[in-house]
């Protein structure tokens, strides 16, 4: 087994806070978060449909940043259960504000390592997985810390329902190449979307604040894969 496929701690994840959380957002951790927090994935398997029995489908966003994309998709698709994972507590605080202001009832949050949630979800339980602008770890010696590894790609294939989709977006060319290589060699995943122009945003894409900052070395690249299993 290669180093990449071994389950090792990644510095990408972990409870992180960079600045004081605003008072109004801090209150939401006490009032709103307890009601929408995902069950502890380390305590056992998670049945997503038990969280929202009437849901028409289940989407997972890994690393939702400030939560504007997650909240916008939740508002557009009120019959879809949206699960969001983000270890950055300031981002969780921002997401709570969006959820509160939008009166969204179809969102569940996990303020910690997404890999624990991935491991706790059952096979063929997700209709869509979204990974938008993950930390690029663009220095060669740090590449092993990237979220999109062979092991995670295999888990994505396990979790998607037949016909379910993965959307991976990055504004770093090297990471796009890295992700494409791993996803294309993962059994059960087939590349779809706009293969001819990977800069073309899907019609339902929601532009994020990070995307507007243009911090990468290239215009956003959109990779879409569908489960063929």
Could you give the C-alpha distances from 107 to 15, 64, 173, 177, in angstroms and in order?
20, 12, 31, 32
Active-site residue, from 3, 79, 123, 135: 135
Q: What is the 3-state secondary structure of 109-160?
A: EECCCHHHHHHHCCCCCEEEEEEECCCCCCCHHHHHHCCCCHHHHHHHHHHE
100 assigned to a ligand binding site = no
Distance, CA of 167 to CA of 33 (rounded, Å): 27
212 assigned to a ligand binding site = no
135 catalytic? Reply is: yes
Q: What is the pLDDT along the chain (229 residues), one digit of tens a residue?
A: 333 434 334 444 444 545 678 888 899 999 999 999 999 999 999 999 899 999 999 999 999 999 999 999 999 999 999 999 999 999 999 999 999 999 999 999 999 989 999 999 999 999 999 999 998 866 666 567 788 899 999 999 999 999 999 999 999 999 999 999 999 999 999 999 999 999 999 999 999 888 999 889 999 999 999 999 7
For the chain, domains (ranges, CATH) are 23-227 (3.40.50.150)
210 assigned to a ligand binding site = yes
207 assigned to a ligand binding site = no
């Amino acid at each position: 087994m290669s180093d990449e496929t071994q389950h090792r701690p990644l510095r990408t994840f972990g409870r992180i806070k960079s600045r004081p959380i605003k008072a109004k957002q801090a209150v939401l951790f006490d009032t709103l978060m307890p009601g929408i927090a995902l069950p502890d994935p380390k305590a056992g398997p998670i049945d997503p449909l038990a969280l929202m029995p009437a849901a028409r489908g289940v989407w997972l966003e890994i690393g939702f940043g400030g939560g504007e994309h997650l909240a916008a998709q939740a508002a557009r698709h009120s019959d879809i259960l949206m699960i969001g994972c983000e270890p950055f507590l300031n981002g969780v605080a921002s997401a709570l504000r969006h959820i509160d202001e939008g009166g969204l009832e179809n969102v569940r949050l996990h303020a910690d390592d997404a890999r624990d949630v991935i491991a706790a979800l059952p096979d063929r339980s997700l209709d869509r997985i979204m990974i938008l602008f993950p930390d690029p770890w663009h220095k060669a010696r740090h590449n092993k810390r990237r979220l999109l590894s062979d092991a995670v790609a295999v888990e994505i294939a396990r979790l998607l329902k037949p016909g379910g989709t993965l959307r991976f977006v990055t504004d770093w060319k090297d990471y796009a190449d890295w992700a494409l290589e791993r996803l294309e060699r993962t059994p059960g995943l087939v590349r779809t979307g706009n293969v001819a122009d990977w800069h073309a945003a899907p019609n339902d894409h929601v532009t994020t604040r990070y995307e507007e900052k243009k911090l990468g070395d290239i215009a956003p690249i959109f990779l879409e894969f569908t489960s063929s299993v």
